[in-house]
Amino acid sequence: MEIKVHDRILEANIRIAERNRELFKRKGITVLNLIGGPGAGKTALLEASIPLLLRRFKVGVIEGDIYTSRDSERILALGVPVVQINTKGACHLDGNMVESVLSDLPLDELDIILIENVGNLVCPAEFDVGEDAKIVVMSVADGDDKPQKYPLIFRLAKALVITKSDMLELAGIDLDRLKDDALSVNPKLEIFLTSARKREGLGGWVDFVTGMTTGRT
């Protein structure tokens, strides 16, 4: 029974997500759904990337969090429109939650919406919210065994952003193994190694977002 209910919830979610997707398409907005565990560095990646994207695009942010609005306060400091979704305990964003806050964003002005999902590498992967692409985010400190252990998100994502490259040496992970494992789960995955703190490796990632937005990717 649990599984049937779960399937019905997922089906209802897909309908709402498709409605979001049509709206985003009509408004010409590219939407990326950033998914990663707690502490993967999703907010720091946004903080480092948004100023680069703003040179060319209008960017809005949807921040998903279970209770606090700490992340959206960090994003507000960048001077971009941001709306907070507090899931009140729920482990992922869904299409309905995203739909419910869209009227709080200036959709007619935006080129890109970056969605930061709840810190969770598992559940958010199952819930389409109407995005153009899922982006999986993990840090070098998370270890090199994540693609095989959490394959769904690596399979569904269009890009993997590996964060905190400034900790690479100390983390002692096998970066080639991580990349090979990720590509064995998803051969088309684009992989970027970044450090938000050192502002390194962001160019390729920003080019990827730019390509998604201008329709080149």
Which residues of this protein are in contact with its own copies, per CB under 8 A? 2, 5, 9, 37-39, 65-68, 70, 89, 91, 118-123, 138-139, 141-143, 145-146, 148-152, 164, 166-167, 170-172, 197
What is the distance between the alpha carbons of residues 75 and 30, in angstroms, rounded to a whole number? 18
Nearest distance from C-beta of residue 34 to its own copies, angstroms: 15
Among the listed residues 105, 91, 173, the one whose alpha carbon sits nearest the alpha carbon of residue 140: 173
Of 134 and 146, nearer to its own copies (C-beta) is 146
Residue 140 in tokens: 């070098």
User: Minimum distance between the CB of residue 4 and its own copies, rounded to whole angstroms?
Assistant: 10
Tokens of 132: 């153009």
Closest approach of its own copies to the CB of residue 1, in Å: 8
Closer CB to its own copies, 23 or 122, in the complex = 122
Nearer to its own copies, 65 or 128 (CB): 65
Shortest distance (Å) from residue 216 CB to its own copies: 32
